[in-house]
Structure 1
Amino acid sequence: MFFPKQFHFLFFLFFLVLNLFAQDKGKLMPFKKIIIDIEKQHQVSFNYTEDNIADLKLVPPKKSLSLDQKLHYLAKNTHLSFENIGNKFINIYKKEIELQLICGYIFSKTDKKPIENANISLANNNQITTDSNGYFEFNGEDKNAVLISHIGFLAKRVVLTNSDSKNCLQILLDPEITELAEIKTNAILASGISKNNDGSFEIKPKKFGILPGLIEPDALQTMQQIPGVNSIDESVSSINVRGGTHDQNLFLWNGIRMYQTGHFFGLISVFNPNLAHTISIYKNGSSAFFGESVSSVVAISSTPETAEKNAFSAGINMINADVYAKYNLSKKSSIEISARKSITDFVETPTYKEYFNKVFQNTTITDFSQNQNIDYRSDKKFDFYDATLKYVQKIGSKDQIILDLITIKDNLEVFQSAMVYDMNRSENNILRQQNYGGNLSWKRNWNRFNTTKMNVYNSAYELLANQRTTIGNQVVIQENTVNNNGINLENNHIITTRFSFNDGYQFNEVGISNLEKVTNPDFYRNVKDVLRTHALILEGKYNDTLARIYFKAGTRINYIEKFKKFIVEPRMQFGYSINKNLNLELLGELKSQNSQQIIDLQKDYFGIEKRRWIISNNTTIPIQKSKQVSLNLFYKKNDWLLDIENFYKKVNGITTSSQGFQNQLEFIRTTGDYEIWGAEMLVQKKMNHFLTWLSYTYNHNNYHFSNYEYPTFPNNFQLMHTVSWAGIYEKNNFKIALGTKWSSGRPKTSPDFSQIDLSNPQLVYNKPNNTNLHIFSQVNISSTYKWETANGIQYKLGISILNILNRKNEISEYYRISSLTNSIEEVETFALQITPNVSFRVSL
């Protein structure tokens, strides 16, 4: 296994810190710290007065002891007594307290009738019951916390004080109503993927099973298995959700907006699959706290829900190697690092060659070799890496600070030369794409009902192309940079057990620049725009499991400083359980977006990553606005699952340059909208260790450009019919998945040869998107096996094959005039052909 030299120091530092923070044994410790540690380990809560434990120190009990053994040890070595209530609450008081009579009556809250044989659990683990009149009594202390329970009633914890038989406390118990189980599947498409109350999909990578063609829980590859989500060009940098373009999706990594999502210019996700803890995907009905998006939201969090132990792992596949380490510096702080780098510096695997051929086909890189076939030579260098760092620090029992840092970079260098008419022609091409991000967050639990979260973040993106040619000694430089800063404040308030309320404020500043510099002839242009936005968020949630209702509604009020413009964005999620098997869900949202990606020329940035980010000017580049509503029926019974969703979505303010046209609209600049409606269906069945599912998506997606001669025609990203199937088998540590994906071809525009003069050809087209490409069909397979040695080291081996039938799938087609033959030529781009991959991972 190969590891970059940069990691040597990292490993040394890791084990040095491990040694420094090893705890001493057997030393006296403050009593308060001892009980805090017991609270965390056993999930209990101590009640005490500071006077009773002040200045008290002793050797802490062994962690391996049970809770009762620890309490016995503390009682034996102190002057204190401990009252354990249901292994949840523990009262601490001084010994030798005089016991007095405690009495009470227990009645039903509904009909006020006495409850006989109700069980009262006392602090000393003794239990008493009520008589036919609901009466009980015992000798206790001044204040006694007891747990009262009875079949058919909700258990109740009360504090009883000393009294006499004439003034006994009267206690009312609420009847227990059998609630319908929440309709939420723990395995949808694969283990580790579930659907939440709010309509979002949640992926837990550490619990992820397997999907066809995937051996790692890649967030952006996995989400493409969800109905309604696909990629027209088989790229994680071009994910289309219900007809939207990739830039219309909001990608967040620990609160940082990511402007680059793919390595290898789109074939690999930049998000390390071994790092994330939770991935939330919203196709509709997203929270009002998510802005700057008119399509989906993908929120990735690497922060665990509970404290985790130290961990280390390293892995390698046929594209990259990675390392991950997590170390608890203390009981209140931890550090987590990850790094991943391509292995193309050392070896060109079959996987790498297939990826390279896929990415660079029909670009200026390959055009050079195709146009010049005499003494052609090429020297290329490609590599990528990403790295993350997380530091967590708890302050006291109420505050927590988290620092997240991420860096991503792709670098391509290609030198090409050829002899043309006894003259040397060469090009030196450099393409760099990178994204840096940082987020500092603070969370405070004021009490169990109120929480505040605040974070400050920055995201910096750069796309740079540098081309040098011998002919004319020309230098062409293109650069696109984004700098995004922001502050988020969120308050959470629990009003009742059913109702909660959130409010917050967000400030966002984005600056985008586009630079173009050419020599021979000289040309220079540098355009920079800055936009600042303020947002006020209000959101309420009502969740009544007895009434089987889930309702969440909120609004986001945006104010754009530059345009002095207010935009109101209401959001809504409603769920109703018709019965224990069937759930109805209604989602709706209005959203807006101020930045987008456009293509000026198809050959920009060598035609590889030709999209550049720009900011709306509220005129020729409008603010994009979307509205969407969807109705969903979710049925689950006897390991069968049926999910049917109908939706309507419209996005206004799109530009022709943002849609990637390669027909007569390529050089036309106008604005319009797209309107899509359709249905998504998923049928799933689980049988012991076998899971199979079939999904179908129907989309009807049209553009509307009112100022164009053909105002309505099919959307470039329309896949009218998509069908996917998978069969997955998981038993013990062995997993295997086989699946296929079939879709109708995307729209294309054909030339009108009846109007073309072949002696002096000029392209004349039919109506835009008048026909379609051939059907796309692909079969994928993957398998993993995991085993563990006696000393606790885990090993995992994975094998996958994409397109095992080696089908030649066309993913785009356009026409151009050949400079060599002066004729019209058809240019086709194809998906990956048969592509194997193997991975191996070691975890400690």
Structure 2
Amino acid sequence: MKQFLLWCYALLFSAFIFAQKQTVFEQDSLQTVLPEIEQYYKVNFSYTDAIIKAKKVSIILDDLVDLESLLLTLSSQTNLKFELINKTNIVISSFNKADLISICGQLLSKNKVVANAVIKVNSRYYTSDETGSFKINNIPFNSIIEISSFGIKNNILKATDCTYPNCITINLTEKKELLDQVVISEYLTSGVTKNVKQTTIHTKKLNLLPGLIEPDILESIHLVPGVSNLNETVNSIHVRGGNSDQNLVLWNNIKTYNNSHLFGAISAFNPYVTDKVNFINKGTSAKYGERVSSIIDITTNYKPVTKISGGAGFNLLHGDAFLDIPLIKDKLSVLVSGRRSYADIYKTFAFKNYASQVFQNTKVFDNTLEFSQSKNIFWFYDYTVNAAYKATDKDLVKFNHIYNKDFLNFSAFSPNANNLYTDILKTQNEGYNLEWEKEWNKELSHQVDGYFSEYSLDYKFSNESNLGTSTNTKTNQIKDFGVNLNFKYDVAEHKQLNFGYQFSNKNFKHSFNYITPTQSMVLDAANDNTNANSIYSEYQVNKPKDYLYTIGLRANKYSSSKKLYIEPRAVLQKFVIPEFSINTSIEYKSQYVNQVQESVISNLSLENQVWALSNETNLPVLTSYQYTIGANYSENKWVVDFEAYFKKTNNINTLDFDFNNQAIYTYHIGSSSIQGVDLFIKKQLKSYNTWLSYSFNSAKYRFEELNNGNPFPSNVNIDHTIKWSHFYKWKKVDLSLGWLWHNGKPYTKINTTTNTDGSLSHSYDNLNTENLHVYHRLDFSAVYNFRPHKNKKIKYRLGFSVLNLYNRKNIINKDIRFSNNTSNELNISDIRGTEISPNMVLRVFW
């Protein structure tokens, strides 16, 4: 019986197979195949013989293959457009630039799938899935595809090489260059990665962050655990208890000294022409010097392009545009960008909110002065130029230029005293860099560049009255130029040696002057010059998912110091299991560039610090060492990252004013000891992810002449910080919400007593024993991406954000000033944080 049933089944299956009509064509001419398709599917093709000439196809005519799928197959094999006019008529034509296609494929390297690879199509980014496969719909027919991934050489191909459904296998080549293992692929959000050495922000792939409707390079760093922002400005970056001037900020290897606009409202770097930002707060590579706290390395990574692309937009503070132009296809390209505020033309409510926070307790917003007429002019702008020339397949020459400027002019007339007050403040920073990259062979490559950076700050306050004009001026100027020679040698698989030489020359000037009709005084001035020569070497072994260690050494000789500074660096990471790793690092660094509090109290007090070079008298070279230990666990869309650290910095400076005589001040030299913990927890779901971080930081100062030589909390000490963020994607809408909480900044309480003659005397309690009120605020942002036109290459973005959503009245500092009368009064007022501040943006990309 079983044999009988088996034979019946075999007969039925054979009958089903032979009942199907099936015709196979293997590399037959399209001209021969088309009549067969017409007869099989009862359709008609319209075409010219010249279009289909020499085209060959491999297809199967089968009842299981519908007509639409067959036409897609024909299109992918011939690069011709098969357009179904109606149910029976099909037109064959060539593709034009406006036509859209779908592409697909699978990425392999040494027969292993390449998951999470970045696939760039024109100016848009996609990723491969866990099997290395990808499918991208509705892209221009003539698109160029660039594929990049960790440890893989970039691969460029045409969209017509992998049109759907002809999903080809793309074999990628491993790159011998050793890259640090990515521990967290989506750290804060998509576009942010973290490894044992650094956090990397890929600005073009960056998802929405709380309170930001546009990427902001410096503002994004504030969300990293261990980073504090004490005065709500983008350049207030206090990394693990360090000061802002202890961060080295590079833009394409140009050292920058003015990193913000509107006195800290936004960063001075256009994110739309930036490729990535490396933020390093531990285990610093021996390649980097000059700062003891952190490195913020901003790179354009510009290369020649094949097509024109660009974008433009505006928000309630400024407008901007950028354009990428190929001058010689695949050989020479230029990328230009520009931004400008329009507050001098029209002041939006967003600008007024920022201005009221920035200019509070200055004459610009001083309600105690009675002005019959006042005028406030403010504007800023910046522009960049990037050029790349591919001389040969192994030689790339780059030119980078950046310029930014801020201008403020406030004038007011007081009828009671018949006085005209004028405040004029100008700051600008410009830089140039010329770079040559060469790959000598598979093992050896170099990067050589020269840079020039110039910074200037000019402030003038004048008081015109019947008695004449009195003027206070302040200037701070920097000229910095240097060369870098960096070499990279692949010793063997998983082993690499980096070494190089660096030279820089810095000239720093500052002066404070007071001029009246009867006298002219120089209150303080300096003109210093320092040469720095450095050599470094670094050896790294990196075995993915096993272990990594880096050992480096850097030697610095500064002309302003007789000492040779030897700086060892080391990093070790070990994977206990694929999902869990432990790490440790140690570093020693020196710094001969500082921002010091000015010795003359200015009237505007917006920029009350000046850049100065170290010397062997009152401003010695800073030295610092840091130890860290950490662990990371990542599985099932959960991420837990933990780090503990200890940092000691010597030769820090502080300015001590005598509150009973404003002409008396003293610089003190001391040290800081900082210990802390950073904890980061993240959970990622399909359309929603959330992360929570907690930071503990105990930063203590010690100066022999202050506080009886006992340690006291530093000016930037924040013991406890909590950051909690959310991201949700719904169709074409991105939503982000973030809450920040930390205890108040420390300050010193001042006691005032009245003398018998009616004058006042001032003294202070133990240093920094009081704290401001707890700080917290909630930020929200939303972005909608859409393409209303048939031309899918053009994309629009509409965004809306609110800072301090529930309008918390935060106090972020205390402002202390001497009165202008003889009673020696002190005016102490609160500096308040940002009130509820909405902003909007509209952008277009092409």
**TM-score computed with the length of structure 2 as normaliser:** 0.76
Distance 1:433 1:397, change over 3 A: same
- 2:436 matched residue in structure 1: 442
- 2:185 matched residue in structure 1: 186
Distance 1:227 1:88, change over 3 A: closer
* C-alpha separation in 2, matches of 1:785 and 1:290: 40
- 2:92 matched residue in structure 1: none
- 1:289 matched residue in structure 2: 287
Letter in 2 for 1:797: L
Aligned match for 2:227, one of 205, 229, 237: 229
The answer to whether the Cα contact below 8 Å between 1:376 and 1:418 also exists between their aligned partners in 2 is yes
Deviation for aligned residue 1:561: 2.6
The answer to whether the Cα contact below 8 Å between 2:304 and 2:333 also exists between their aligned partners in 1 is no
Letter in 2 for 1:402: K
* C-alpha separation in 2, matches of 1:758 and 1:553: 67
- 2:496 matched residue in structure 1: 500
- 2:338 matched residue in structure 1: 339
Deviation for aligned residue 1:668: 2.7
* C-alpha separation in 1, matches of 2:621 and 2:825: 41
* C-alpha separation in 2, matches of 1:694 and 1:540: 35
Aligned match for 1:560, one of 538, 558, 561: 558
Alignment of 1:194-233 (within 5 A): 194-196=193-195, 198-233=196-231
Distance 1:65 1:518, change over 3 A: farther
1:464 corresponds to 2:458: yes
* C-alpha separation in 1, matches of 2:797 and 2:383: 22
Letter in 1 for 2:470: Q
* C-alpha separation in 1, matches of 2:583 and 2:658: 36
Deviation for aligned residue 1:345: 2.8
The answer to whether the Cα contact below 8 Å between 2:595 and 2:610 also exists between their aligned partners in 1 is yes
Deviation for aligned residue 1:563: 2.6
* C-alpha separation in 2, matches of 1:347 and 1:321: 13
* C-alpha separation in 1, matches of 2:440 and 2:332: 20
Letter in 1 for 2:460: N
- 1:171 matched residue in structure 2: none
Deviation for aligned residue 1:559: 1.1
The answer to whether the Cα contact below 8 Å between 1:656 and 1:670 also exists between their aligned partners in 2 is yes
The answer to whether the Cα contact below 8 Å between 1:749 and 1:814 also exists between their aligned partners in 2 is no
Deviation for aligned residue 1:770: 1.4
Deviation for aligned residue 1:264: 0.3
- 1:509 matched residue in structure 2: 505
Deviation for aligned residue 1:87: 11
Distance 1:516 1:760, change over 3 A: closer
1:534 corresponds to 2:528: no
1:392 corresponds to 2:394: no
* Superimposed CA distance per residue, residues 440-460 of structure 1 (whole angstroms, 9 cap, x where no aligned partner): 000110011100110000000
Letter in 2 for 1:570: P
The answer to whether the Cα contact below 8 Å between 1:601 and 1:610 also exists between their aligned partners in 2 is no
Deviation for aligned residue 1:817: 5.1
Distance 1:213 1:697, change over 3 A: same
Letter in 1 for 2:415: M
The answer to whether the Cα contact below 8 Å between 1:364 and 1:607 also exists between their aligned partners in 2 is no
Of Structure 1 and Structure 2, the greater strand share is in: 2
* Superimposed CA distance per residue, residues 463-488 of structure 1 (whole angstroms, 9 cap, x where no aligned partner): 00122211441122211000000000
**Secondary structure of 2:418's partner?**
strand
* C-alpha separation in 2, matches of 1:755 and 1:814: 21
Deviation for aligned residue 1:710: 3.1
* C-alpha separation in 2, matches of 1:794 and 1:522: 59
**Secondary structure of 1:221's partner?**
helix
Identical aligned pairs, as a percentage? 30
The answer to whether the Cα contact below 8 Å between 2:775 and 2:811 also exists between their aligned partners in 1 is yes
Deviation for aligned residue 1:762: 1.8
- 1:125 matched residue in structure 2: none
The answer to whether the Cα contact below 8 Å between 1:464 and 1:605 also exists between their aligned partners in 2 is no
The answer to whether the Cα contact below 8 Å between 1:662 and 1:814 also exists between their aligned partners in 2 is no
- 1:133 matched residue in structure 2: none
Alignment of 1:299-698 (within 5 A): 299-304=297-302, 309-330=307-328, 331-367=330-366, 369-370=367-368, 372-373=369-370, 375-420=371-416, 423-471=417-465, 472-520=468-516, 521-524=519-522, 526-545=525-544, 548-601=546-599, 603-604=601-602, 606-657=604-655, 667-698=665-696
* C-alpha separation in 2, matches of 1:88 and 1:683: 32
Letter in 2 for 1:450: L
The answer to whether the Cα contact below 8 Å between 1:410 and 1:434 also exists between their aligned partners in 2 is yes
- 1:238 matched residue in structure 2: 236
* C-alpha separation in 1, matches of 2:537 and 2:836: 50
The answer to whether the Cα contact below 8 Å between 2:364 and 2:376 also exists between their aligned partners in 1 is no
- 1:724 matched residue in structure 2: 723
* Superimposed CA distance per residue, residues 225-269 of structure 1 (whole angstroms, 9 cap, x where no aligned partner): 001112110112221111111111000000001100110011110
- 1:751 matched residue in structure 2: 750
Deviation for aligned residue 1:823: 4.9
Deviation for aligned residue 1:189: 1.3
Deviation for aligned residue 1:775: 0.3
Letter in 2 for 1:831: G
Distance 1:611 1:822, change over 3 A: closer
* Superimposed CA distance per residue, residues 139-185 of structure 1 (whole angstroms, 9 cap, x where no aligned partner): xxxxxxxxxxxxxxxx9x9xxxxxxxxxxxxxxxxxxxxxxx95622
* C-alpha separation in 1, matches of 2:282 and 2:580: 20
1:265 corresponds to 2:259: no
Residue correspondences, number? 668
- 2:790 matched residue in structure 1: 790
**Secondary structure of 2:397's partner?**
strand
The answer to whether the Cα contact below 8 Å between 1:507 and 1:534 also exists between their aligned partners in 2 is yes
The answer to whether the Cα contact below 8 Å between 2:772 and 2:813 also exists between their aligned partners in 1 is yes
| Uncovered stretches (5+) of structure 2, i.e. residues with no partner | 1-75, 80-106, 111-170, 174-179
* Superimposed CA distance per residue, residues 663-697 of structure 1 (whole angstroms, 9 cap, x where no aligned partner): 99993311001111010111110111101011111
The answer to whether the Cα contact below 8 Å between 2:213 and 2:782 also exists between their aligned partners in 1 is yes
The answer to whether the Cα contact below 8 Å between 1:288 and 1:539 also exists between their aligned partners in 2 is yes
* C-alpha separation in 2, matches of 1:221 and 1:537: 31
Which one is further off, 555-564 or 627-636? Answer: 555-564
Letter in 2 for 1:503: F
**TM-score computed with the length of structure 1 as normaliser:** 0.76
Letter in 1 for 2:746: P
The answer to whether the Cα contact below 8 Å between 1:763 and 1:816 also exists between their aligned partners in 2 is no
- 2:714 matched residue in structure 1: 715
**Secondary structure of 2:212's partner?**
coil
RMSD: 2.7
* C-alpha separation in 1, matches of 2:606 and 2:306: 41
Distance 1:600 1:88, change over 3 A: closer
**Secondary structure of 2:667's partner?**
coil
* C-alpha separation in 1, matches of 2:574 and 2:303: 28
Which one is further off, 672-681 or 326-335? Answer: 326-335
* C-alpha separation in 2, matches of 1:825 and 1:237: 27
| Uncovered stretches (5+) of structure 1, i.e. residues with no partner | 1-62, 67-85, 90-154, 158-180
Deviation for aligned residue 1:562: 3.7
1:829 corresponds to 2:828: no
Distance 1:599 1:87, change over 3 A: closer
Deviation for aligned residue 1:310: 2.7
- 1:767 matched residue in structure 2: 766
* C-alpha separation in 1, matches of 2:802 and 2:297: 28
* C-alpha separation in 1, matches of 2:802 and 2:762: 40
The answer to whether the Cα contact below 8 Å between 1:460 and 1:483 also exists between their aligned partners in 2 is yes
The answer to whether the Cα contact below 8 Å between 1:737 and 1:783 also exists between their aligned partners in 2 is yes
- 2:15 matched residue in structure 1: none
- 2:36 matched residue in structure 1: none
